Amino acid sequence: MDPQNPMPLKTHSVSSTDSPEFTHLTSSLTRSTIIALDAEWKPLRSHHPTYPTVSLLQLACQLGDDSVVVFLLDLASVPLPSIWVLLRDAFVNPDVLKLGFRFKQDLVYLSSTFSSQGCDPGFDRVEPYLDITSIYQHLQQKQHGKKTPKETKSLATICKELLGISLSKELQCSDWSCRPLTEEQKTYAAMDAHCLLEIFNVFRVKVIKEGILVHSPSEPHPAIVNLGLKQVLEKLDICNKVVRMKFCEAVDMVRATDVSNDITTVEGTAIMTQHRNTQPMDEFLLKVVSRYGEKILLGESDKKAKASKRKGKRRSSVGFKQGHYFDDWKGPAPWDLTVGGDGHPKFLCDVMVEGLAKHLRCVGIDAASPYSKKPESRELIDHANREKRVLLTRDAKLLRYEYLIKNQIYRVKSLLKNEQLLEVIETFQLKVSEDQLMSRCTRCNGRFIQKPLTTEEAVEAAKGFQRIPNCLFDKNLQFWQCMDCNQLYWEGTQYHNAVQKFIDVCKLNE
């Protein structure tokens, strides 16, 4: 795929049940092997005690012949009772694998949207299901030994890494309830669902190449198997072979090896088949589902919107007195999903809390610095606004601008770096895990390359700007390089001391 010019998608907007597009949708649902799901809603700006109303559901259908068609189902126009059963059946159809990116949230909102229009009890499950975050985890685990932090990457980051395409996030918070949708909105919406299929295809290729799902792992292409995924995709000749591999060939490959004992049928398949007009899954998908399949189940607690997502209860591990730091922080942070964020905490640290920025990076939290050494207040505000960051400062004067970015400025009270770190973790209820420690460049806030470098590679990469001490040469260390500033890091004594320090500071071992 050309990253600059992604392939044109066959996209159909469905805005009434009395239209050829709707007929096309219903027939495609029965011919799909995989359906990638995504939903859009108008973000609730205020601290609303209800769930947002979903106004668009995107379904990217991969059909039996491997062609893909994307439907933009306009929930603001189509009478919901007329599509409720159709969707509910698709969500639970055991013949069709559903893909999503943290789709549980979407399902909660969808369910509430449908319930409010008489389709009670909305939706309560999606099964069989695979989440892109899990797929990404599987890909990472196989790729290098270092554990990657769970669920910390946005879909945009995953797309960039695995597919080399940039998803524009600008439109995510646009008004999805306005009609007609702009062409940009339609393209964005279609891409967001379609890229899930593309990511699954990367996974599919990997699984097949490595023989993960067969008895005796055959290694047809050892040279490729040992490459990191990114390299596989970057090498054009290989790329053409693997990425364009047809599904039927993939199935043949699995069939060609001994699979007789290993197929687990999805629960209830035999009974259900008579009532459905879809084709049962082929062997490959069945195996993927039986090995990696998940489901989304909504409980009673998911059906009621809470006034606040923040819990009143603090983790006992952090020794702050309750209420103390909550006085000037009332609403959800800009990354909160309920206000249209992507769920990833992001900060902008004023120059006065530079040390805090480094500490936050050390525990894996996205903490940017201002663009200039002496930024104007307005610059800081604009920066925070643009990147949906919370501005951390010790400068009380900056709080005068609070009206410009509600809930996006926080004045740090503690004076010492370690305490400031704890204060921020606690105030914003951030989850820090050991996996996340040292997962970010302390110098520039960048992320690290996907694969460690050997000493030789590191020496080569460091040429001209960073000296690697000679004493490291015979230690067989792994080196990590920042993708943004190229700084090299290695897992030496300093690294281990730092990890230990942050385990202590964040009280991760208690």
**Residues contributing to the site for Zn ion (CB under 5 A):** 441, 443-444, 446, 482, 484-485, 487
The pair of three-digit structure tokens given for residue 99, joined into one six-digit string: 């893909």
The pair of three-digit structure tokens given for residue 63, joined into one six-digit string: 């059909």
Amino acid letter, residue 163: L
Nearer to Zn ion, 256 or 485 (CB): 485
The CB-of-448 to Zn ion minimum distance in angstroms stands at: 9
The CB-of-465 to Zn ion minimum distance in angstroms stands at: 12
Our CA dihedral for 5, 6, 7, 12, rounded to 10 degrees, sits at -120
Nearer to Zn ion, 60 or 441 (CB): 441
The CB-of-500 to Zn ion minimum distance in angstroms stands at: 23
CA angle (77, 82, 85) in 5-degree steps: 130
Nearer to Zn ion, 444 or 459 (CB): 444
Nearer to Zn ion, 178 or 485 (CB): 485
270 alpha-carbon distance from chain centroid = 34
The CB-of-389 to Zn ion minimum distance in angstroms stands at: 18
Nearer to Zn ion, 39 or 458 (CB): 458
The CB-of-361 to Zn ion minimum distance in angstroms stands at: 9
The CB-of-480 to Zn ion minimum distance in angstroms stands at: 10
> Helix (H, G, I), strand (E, B), or coil: what is residue 275?
helix
CB 96 within 8 A of CB 125: no
Residue from 9, 366, 3, 39 nearest 166 by CA = 3
CA angle (475, 476, 479) in 5-degree steps: 110
The CB-of-171 to Zn ion minimum distance in angstroms stands at: 29
Nearer to Zn ion, 355 or 446 (CB): 446
Nearer to Zn ion, 94 or 149 (CB): 149
The CB-of-355 to Zn ion minimum distance in angstroms stands at: 17
The pair of three-digit structure tokens given for residue 357, joined into one six-digit string: 């920025």
> Helix (H, G, I), strand (E, B), or coil: what is residue 70?
strand
Q: Taking the chain, what is the end-to-end CA distance rounded to the nearest angstrom?
A: 48
Long-range contacts of 215-224 (CB under 8 A, 24+ apart): 215/257, 215/258, 215/259, 215/261, 215/262, 216/257, 216/258, 218/257, 220/253
Nearer to Zn ion, 449 or 505 (CB): 449
